[in-house]
């Protein structure tokens, strides 16, 4: 029983419990505090530039631009085609965007810096919305997201990610990967990020680059294109904390965007490894400081490593304990250490200690997303979670080696459908 409870604690996680509690406190306080009048200085869509870095995105860029143009006036959508070898530039221009065609490929961070400078976005606009080329904005993205800037201390609004359901992946593996990714989004955003974004905490670890907003006045103080990083969004977020530029806001009801997640195993593993590599590289670049954000980060990293190792060891432990019990049942006499290990970690505790709490997370995700078919896929999510754990640890080892840049390698895209 002790082993079962320990596994449940590892799978659910201390951070989940702490930040879920913090989020519930935020909800309670918000219900007790009546909303005030709309500030006269509230930002409007006219104050927002939408900047999209794209590399070989001819299949998705048109739908993304149409979505963006529903949010801001004509002329405020800017595309940086970063070394594209397909029809991205022509498609973007026909869709009504301002386009900068860069050659050679600079990577996403370099493309963003080039776009900010070339289009003079910091001088012309109060806010820049960084949008991925495979992402479509919810109709109420700005209507719900811009009010978070009413607090003058807020310098960034983290967008809420949700997975595009159209087009539907053709294979079972594709549906499994996309459904699991939706669960990751729901769990991380509702049970972690909402609590972390509270005024008293302000420890959000990532303002995701897929669809988030920054006040343009802080862009010159952020090293967007820092060398040796696989991705830019972790580093940009750490820069906000390191330089004490202001507060990061997040609300799961606001600034919602729909993104196309990989539906092929190779693309999925490569993307997860790249995200993890960017995280570890950013941690290495910034180091640790005696501040609240970094203390929270240390606790998160400790739990991340513990849970990743535990998930990777569950299958070998299950084989070992199961084999030992079978040997005993057929009259063999396994060594004493193996018998003691099998008694301490019986197979049922290993299986149920992982599957039960993991499925609880699936049920929570389904209640939020209303994607009921995920209840059937939920038992298989553990397998994908083990893949994530392996990618996390492998990326940590890679981050200790000579650093690499963020040159594009786009996943295979599905023709863009309707986010709704």
CATH superfamily for 1-420 is Spore Coat Polysaccharide Biosynthesis Protein SpsA; Chain A (3.90.550.10)
Question: Would you place residue 420 in the very low, low, confident or very high pLDDT band (cuts 50, 70, 90)?
Answer: very low
Q: Say yes or no to pLDDT of 61 above 80.
A: yes
Q: What is the pLDDT of residues 133-181, one digit of tens each?
A: 989 999 999 999 999 999 999 999 999 999 988 778 889 999 999 999 9
Identify whether the C-beta of residue 137 lies closer than 8 Å to the C-beta of residue 68.
yes
Of residues 33 and 173, the one with the higher pLDDT is 173
CB count within 10 Å of CB 381 equals 22
Q: Say yes or no to pLDDT of 419 above 60.
A: no
Q: Say yes or no to pLDDT of 408 above 60.
A: no
Q: What is the pLDDT of residues 397-406, one digit of tens each?
A: 999 876 555 5
Of residues 141 and 410, the one with the higher pLDDT is 141
Question: Would you place residue 348 in the very low, low, confident or very high pLDDT band (cuts 50, 70, 90)?
Answer: confident
Q: Regarding beta strands 256-259 and 135-137, do their DSSP bridges make them parallel or antiparallel, or are they unpaired? A: antiparallel
Out of 219-228, 344-353, 366-375, least confident range: 344-353
Inter-CA distances, 344 with 81, 317, 323, 336, 341, Å: 57, 11, 14, 12, 5
Q: 151 CB contacts (<8 Å, ≥6 apart)?
A: 247, 249
- Helical axes 292-329 vs 347-369, angle rounded to 10°: 130
Task: List strand residue ranges (DSSP E) for 158-284, in order.
Answer: 160-163, 211-215, 247-249, 256-259
Identify whether the C-beta of residue 204 lies closer than 8 Å to the C-beta of residue 248.
yes
pLDDT of the residue at 256: 97
Averaged pLDDT score across all residues of the chain: 91
Question: Would you place residue 334 in the very low, low, confident or very high pLDDT band (cuts 50, 70, 90)?
Answer: confident
**What's the CA gap between 18 and 242, in Å, rounded?**
23
**Omega before 167 cis (within 30°)?**
yes
Identify whether the C-beta of residue 65 lies closer than 8 Å to the C-beta of residue 79.
yes
pTM: 0.90
């Amino acid at each position: 029983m002790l082993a079962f409870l320990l596994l449940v604690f590892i799978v659910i996680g201390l951070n989940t419990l702490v930040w879920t509690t913090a989020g519930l406190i935020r909800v309670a306080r918000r219900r007790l505090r009546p909303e005030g009048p709309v500030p006269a200085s509230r930002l409007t869509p006219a104050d927002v530039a939408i900047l999209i870095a794209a590399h070989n995105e001819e299949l998705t860029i048109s739908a993304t631009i149409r979505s963006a143009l529903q949010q801001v006036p004509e002329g405020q959508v800017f595309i940086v085609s970063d070394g594209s070898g397909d029809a991205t530039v022509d498609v973007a221009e026909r869709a009504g965007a301002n386009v900068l065609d860069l050659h050679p490929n600079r990577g996403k961070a370099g493309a963003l810096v080039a776009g900010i400078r070339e289009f003079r976005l910091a001088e012309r606009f109060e806010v820049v919305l960084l949008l991925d080329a495979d992402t479509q904005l919810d109709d109420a993205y700005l209507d719900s997201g811009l009010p978070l800037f009413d607090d003058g201390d807020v310098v960034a609004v983290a967008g809420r990610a949700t997975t595009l359901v159209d087009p539907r992946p053709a294979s079972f593996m594709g549906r499994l990967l996309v459904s699991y990714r939706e669960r990751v989004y729901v769990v991380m955003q509702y049970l972690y990020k909402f609590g972390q974004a509270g005024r008293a905490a302000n420890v959000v670890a990532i303002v995701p680059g897929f669809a988030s907003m920054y006040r343009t006045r802080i862009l010159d103080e952020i090293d967007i294109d820092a060398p040796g990083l696989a991705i830019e969004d972790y580093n940009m977020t750490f820069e906000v904390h390191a330089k004490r530029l202001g507060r990061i806001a997040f609300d799961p009801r606001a600034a919602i965007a729909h993104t196309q997640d990989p539906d092929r195993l190779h693309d999925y593993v490569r993307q997860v490894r790249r995200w993890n590599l960017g995280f570890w590289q950013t941690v290495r670049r910034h180091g640790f400081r005696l501040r609240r954000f970094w203390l929270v980060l240390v606790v998160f990293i400790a739990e991340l490593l513990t849970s990743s190792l535990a998930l990777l060891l569950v299958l070998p432990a299950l084989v070992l304990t199961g084999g030992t019990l079978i040997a005993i049942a057929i009259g063999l006499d396994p060594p004493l250490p193996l018998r003691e290990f099998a008694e301490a970690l019986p197979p049922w505790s290993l299986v149920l200690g992982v599957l039960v709490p993991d499925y609880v997370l699936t049920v929570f995700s389904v209640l939020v997303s209303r994607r009921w078919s995920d209840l059937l896929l939920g038992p298989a999510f553990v397998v994908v979670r083990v893949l994530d754990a392996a990618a996390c640890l492998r990326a940590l080892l890679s981050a200790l080696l000579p650093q690499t840049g963020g040159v594009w390698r786009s996943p295979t895209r599905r023709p863009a459908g309707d986010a709704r």
